[in-house]
Structure 1
Amino acid sequence: MNIIRSEKNPIITPEDVKPSRPDFKVVGVFNCGVTRFNGEILLLMRVAEMPINNNPKKELVPMIDLKTDKIVVKEFNKADSSIDFSDSRFVRTPTDQYLTSISHLRIARGKNGIDFKIDKKPAIFPESKYERFGIEDPRITQINGRYYINYSAISDITGVTTCLTSTTDFVTFTRHGVIFMPDNKDVAIFPEKIKGRYYALNRPVSAEYRVRNIWISESPDLVYWGNHLKLMSAREKYWDDGSIGCSGVPFKIEEGWMEIYHGSSKINRYCLGAVLLDANEPWKVIARSEKPIIEPEMDYELHGFFGNVIFNCGNLYEEGKVKIYYGAADTCIAYAEVKLKDILYQLK
């Protein structure tokens, strides 16, 4: 695959982002939704923060206090053998699981698609029991002049739900609540109605069998979703034999709807591929990537907070090119582009 990475990669790093409070540090900026707005490219970035910790014997975990809706910090003793600290993303006790960071959504704006000015304050901040451990991985769908933003809300109380908010100016946001029940994430809403209905790709997880498939659902109003149909699964002996999920918002081409999706191998190596869906019946798969469009190869993709990962929440299709903004190693944002004809050529 002839994919071109920016020479300036990574284009946004944690050092570029101001923490939301003085006792926190930014450990990751990644997995951004993408759109054009007021003559600029706008990135709605996931910003992961951790409390500054000067005690190597302790692990600090940030979360929303349900009584005050404010962030508090919980301490864990690293000498406690009953607690699992082996994964940098989690603290696992015998009864509970916590995240070591908490994420909010922040805006970056730029004209050339590579150089961005980052807002000093969060755009959307976690604030409820559904968002106790943070909000993650936004996708932006523009419909009739309004921008609908769905994101994953993480909580030990409610599980992983998908919430929806919307805006016309990226200054004020209207929250529409939970649109997909737990555990469901990686939601991508189509940018127009199809036969009078809205459609969304999503990735529910079976709590009992740990099955992770991409489904498609329909809605009359973007809030209430039903008629859920399984769309596609992970594939044995392929690059996506572990799990799969939606990435950017589907975009329409002459051949149908193109979705850039992510897949992981059984050893948690995350790559991006593509699937072509029927234009009028998007629950029908026409063709799918046999090989990744892009896979972890560069140092910033191989090493970071969680390495060997390329993960995408937003892309632009312009001038025959798919412009991909992706999270690298759960740490930074990078950019790559590929010609649509090259993607279509390797679909089977």
Structure 2
Amino acid sequence: MQASRPLPEARRCPANPILKPTDIRPTHPELEVCCVMNAGALRRDGVTYLMLRVDERPHPEQGYVSTAISREGRIEILRFRRDTPGLDTHDPRGFTLPDGRMYITVLSHLRLARSKDGVHFAIEDQPAIFPAEPYEAYAAQDARMTEIEGTVYINYSAVSDHGIATALATTTDFVTYRRHGLIFAPDNRNVCLFPRRIAGAYHALHRPMHAVPIGLNSVWLACSSDLTHWGGHRRVMAPRPGAWDDHHIGGGAPPIETPHGWLVVYHGANRSNRYCLGVALLDRDDPARVLARHTQALLQPVMPYERQGFFGNVVFTDGAVVQDGLLRVYYGASDETVCLADFPLEEVLSALLSLSANGDRNYGEN
């Protein structure tokens, strides 16, 4: 039996991080950009488009913890004394008040960047999508972009005190954007749309989040006739005990169609919250069927900018494109910057196909 092949080594862009907070103009004088990350990616007519997650926060004030929220598109600054009894600030991503109310420390919006070479990007001065709905009061973040029949579908996490839901917007020209509201209720995120119908239906990967300690945070598949109402849910992949993704997994980039199946780049974390990227291959006609899932991580946080930052030891992707035979993965590093890593596409597929040929699919439970 032929030995399984390892995944190719990541070719990190020498210019990494390719986008930093200092590259982004704040939306409001009272806010500063602290993070830019987790960009949705799309290659169209020789141009790479990134839909950036931009995190802003109020300028710091001694002795206070603060955040900004959106009230119908208007920014409101909230500040709380750090010495308040019962105030929990152990996680840099959020804080909890003594009465149980939870806030995240940033206000997120989506902003467009474009590039011909996929490395040097021009960033728009104004947001493409800014939190304007009640379900987006805390954030519109982590967009994925998928072109289906000439329309670009942008699904993103809508965050508020109601939880984390998934909203949908569309554009045909990256100038005007139409919102379609929520398509997955809280708590559900990491939605990745397939770029074409399968057996006449639209399909999406998604990751329900468990509020009770029953079950695993896994990747699921759903189908729809209109991209708004979803059903037919089936679990596709689960965390693997003892592996680098043993705590939780979720979608990363939207699936990429190849002659061998749907290539999926996903994220996974261990119990120390170390985030890595993995790859799997799904059946073209039945994407709930996993053909192969590599035991090796495609990308791990090893560089200083991946290990140290706003939330360290994290590589996380929302978008990948195929360009000149390369799988180009755009990823957030340490929840603070945008980076790029390239992989020869055929080598990635060969590594996955070697698992399938050996009968070693390594998908864990499904």
Would you say the 8 A contact 2:73–2:130 is kept in 1?
no
- In structure 2, which of residues 20, 23, 39 is the aligned counterpart of residue 16 of structure 1? 23
Give the match for residue 6 of structure 1: 13
Residue of 171, 185, 198 corresponding to 2:189: 185
* Aligned partner of residue 299 in structure 2, secondary structure: coil
Q: Is 1:328 aligned to residue 314 of structure 2?
A: no
1:1-348 correspondence to structure 2 within 5 Å: 1-53=8-60, 55-65=61-71, 68-94=72-98, 95-156=100-161, 158-209=162-213, 211-347=216-352, 348=355
Hey, what's the Cα distance between the residues in 2 that align with 1:4 and 1:254?
Answer: 24
Deviation at 1:38, TM superposition (A): 4.7
Q: Distance in 2 between matches of 1:18 and 1:290?
A: 41
The CA deviation at 1:69 is 4.0
TM-score for both structures, normalised by structure 1: 0.96
- TM, length-normalised to structure 2: 0.92
Equivalent pair of 2:164/2:188 in contact (CA under 8 Å): yes
Give deviations 1:294-316, integer Å, cap 9, x for gaps.
10011110011001000000000
Task: List alignment gaps of at least 5 residues for structure 2.
Answer: 1-7, 356-366
Alpha-carbon deviation of 1:242? Answer: 1.1
Equivalent pair of 2:305/2:333 in contact (CA under 8 Å): yes
Residues 66-106 of structure 1, C-alpha deviations (whole Å, 9 max, x = no match): xx541201111101130111111111123111011010000
Aligned-partner SS, 1:122: coil
Give the residue type in structure 2 aligned to 1:113. G
Deviation per CA, 1:171-207: give whole Å up to 9, x if none.
1111111100110000000000011000000000121
Q: In the alignment, what sits opposite 2:362? A: none
| Higher alpha-carbon deviation: 111-120 or 313-322 | 313-322
CA distance in 2, matches of 1:254, 1:69: 44
Shift of 1:231: 0.8
Distance of aligned partners of 1:130 and 1:152 in 2 relative to their CA distance in 1, 3 Å threshold? same
d(CA) in 2 for partners of 1:186 and 1:263?
12
Q: Shift in Å at residue 237 of structure 1? A: 0.9
Displacement, 1:318?
Answer: 3.0
Q: Distance in 1 between matches of 2:304 and 2:262?
A: 33
Give 1:6's aligned amino acid: C
Q: Is the 8 A contact 1:291 1:346 kept in 2?
A: no
Secondary structure of the 2:86 match is coil
Distance 1:339 1:189 in 2: 23
Cα RMSD over matched residues? 1.1
The answer to which of 338-347 and 139-148 deviates more is: 338-347
State the distance in 2 between where 1:275 and 1:38 align: 27
Report deviation, 1:262. 0.4
Q: How many Å separate the matches in 1 of 2:336 and 2:209? A: 25
1:46 and 1:176 map into 2 onto residues whose CA distance is 19
Distance in 2 (CA, whole Å) between partners of 1:318 and 1:8 is 18
- SS of alignment partner, residue 346 of structure 2: helix
The letter of the residue matching 1:338 is: F
Q: Which amino acid aligns with 1:188?
A: C
- Which runs of 5 or more structure 1 residues have no equivalent in the other structure? none
CA distance in 1, matches of 2:59, 2:66: 8
In 2, the alpha carbon distance for the partners of 1:263 and 1:169 equals 33
SS at match of 1:280: coil
Identity %: 41
CA distance in 2, matches of 1:39, 1:215: 32
- Count of aligned residue pairs for this structure pair: 344
